[in-house]
Amino acid sequence: MEQLEPFEEWKYSSEVTLSKSDIDFLNEKVNGEKLNSKIVIIALGDNHYKLKATSWVGTVKIPNSYTIVIKPKVGNLNFFKLLAYCEDLEEIEYFDLVYAKEGEDLVDFMAKLFLDNTRQIVEEGIYKNYISVTEEIPAVKGRLLLAQNIRHPRLTHEKFWCEYDELSSDILENQILLYCANVLSLLVKDHKIQSDLYDFQQKLESQGVSNIFLEQYHLALILIQKLNEYYEKALKLCEFILKITWYEDFTREERLPIYGFLYDMNVLFQKFVTKAIQEIFSKYNVYAELRNPDMLERIPMEHLDDNFEGVSKVNLKPDIAIREKSTKKMVLIVDTKYKPMISTNDTYQAIAYSLAFECPAILLLPQIEKPVSDGFKLHPDLKKEAYVFIKSLDFSYEIDFISELKNKIRSILQIWL
């Protein structure tokens, strides 16, 4: 199958032929029932299509068909610097810039990062710990299980059900590493990386590590202490991998069918801006998604037939609210919009925030092509005050990426703070 060329977020793919099952998979499994599609499908006629990326980056495998690769506009290395800052992965060591090849897929980059952080584990030796084993054996070992032995009496060739502790590599730490190596090996395209992942899998399997289905919550069961602390960085990376990977139902008799490795840049952009503002302007109270007080209150409607239904509760909550600590006065609302341009609805939403909180509202978006800087206020005839500003954040920095972005945020907001 000819592979689809990778394309950037907000860009179009090359022309591709898709079957009905391909279209159904993208609509049902990838985009789901959400109003905003992760991948927009544009029909050209005669089963020919183009795909448009939105704010989701990563890799999607259509079963028995194409692999779709959407590249982050900021580049793989800067994408992971943002992740490290937002997802508490800052201790993970990154490659030098020379190793971040142009055109390298995001999942391949993640796999290289995974291999780089598991190399120390292989060098220091696979960690072992005591696990509880229950089995029927010819001699008593550990604790004799009376209930099981009573239920299974034997006249000849006597064996005993026992429970005992055994030093083993088949522990959760190693099972998680093996599982993530399996996930990545099913998605990467680079043959060298895939071969290195298989080698790592074989090292673990040769030590008796089981290849079982795991999810993100399993990492909470691991206690990092002195003996396994050299696993910590790799396990943090595994937690992120499990968080953003999605797949079909799993059965132990079949190999895990991985289909997606996607991350929403809307979420990353909002997390980054929120954390940066909290650190830069620490003398203020900075709230993420301030929920109270509610901006809207339902009006009781009388004389309506029982057939009339209301809509679900409308919750207008700003992404970031900044308040003075001493006076409790709200001084600024910041709403992040990870999109190429601001819509009229975005502006109306910001006006509502400005009116409700009696302070200016800023719509902050990434600089996709050209810098954006604009501002509006309500017409004086309306006898109400509301101020809306639109600013863009430049993501083109290659050196000191996080520091430069934080400096830019400081320069944008310091007019009001």
Q: Would you state the pLDDT for residue 414? A: 92
Non-local (6+) Cβ contacts of 410 within 8 A are 280
Mean pLDDT of 218-241: 89
Q: Would you state the pLDDT for residue 280? A: 96
Q: Would you state the pLDDT for residue 251? A: 45
Mean pLDDT of 245-265: 70
Mean pLDDT of 303-315: 64
Mean pLDDT of 135-151: 74
Report which of residues 98 and 268 the model is more confident about.
268
Residue of 315, 266, 313 whose CA lies nearest to 294:
315
Report which of residues 259 and 352 the model is more confident about.
352
Q: Would you state the pLDDT for residue 267? A: 92
Mean pLDDT of the chain: 84
Q: What angle do CA 322, 343, 73 make, to 5 degrees?
A: 80
Mean pLDDT of 254-275: 85
Q: Would you state the pLDDT for residue 362? A: 96
Q: Would you state the pLDDT for residue 34? A: 63
Q: Would you state the pLDDT for residue 347? A: 94
pTM of the model: 0.81
Question: What percent of the chain has a predicted confidence (pLDDT) above 70?
Answer: 86
Question: Burial of 358 by CB count in 10 Å (0-12 exposed, 13-18 middle, 19+ buried)?
Answer: exposed
Enter the tokens of residue 332: 């600024």
Rounded to whole angstroms, the Cα distance separating 268 from 280 reads 18
pLDDT per position as a tens digit, 87-131: 877 777 665 443 555 446 888 888 988 998 898 899 999 999 988
Q: Would you state the pLDDT for residue 78? A: 85
Report whether pLDDT(252) > 60.
no
pLDDT per position as a tens digit, 352-368: 999 989 999 999 999 87
Give the type of residue at 150: I
pLDDT band at 292 (very low <50, low <70, confident <90, very high): low
Residue of 279, 390, 259, 379 whose CA lies nearest to 334:
390
Report which of residues 399 and 283 the model is more confident about.
283
Q: What residue ranges define each of the domains in the chain, with the CATH number in brackets?
A: 1-71 (no CATH), 73-127+176-247 (no CATH), 129-168 (no CATH), 265-298+312-413 (3.40.1350)
Q: Would you state the pLDDT for residue 97? A: 44
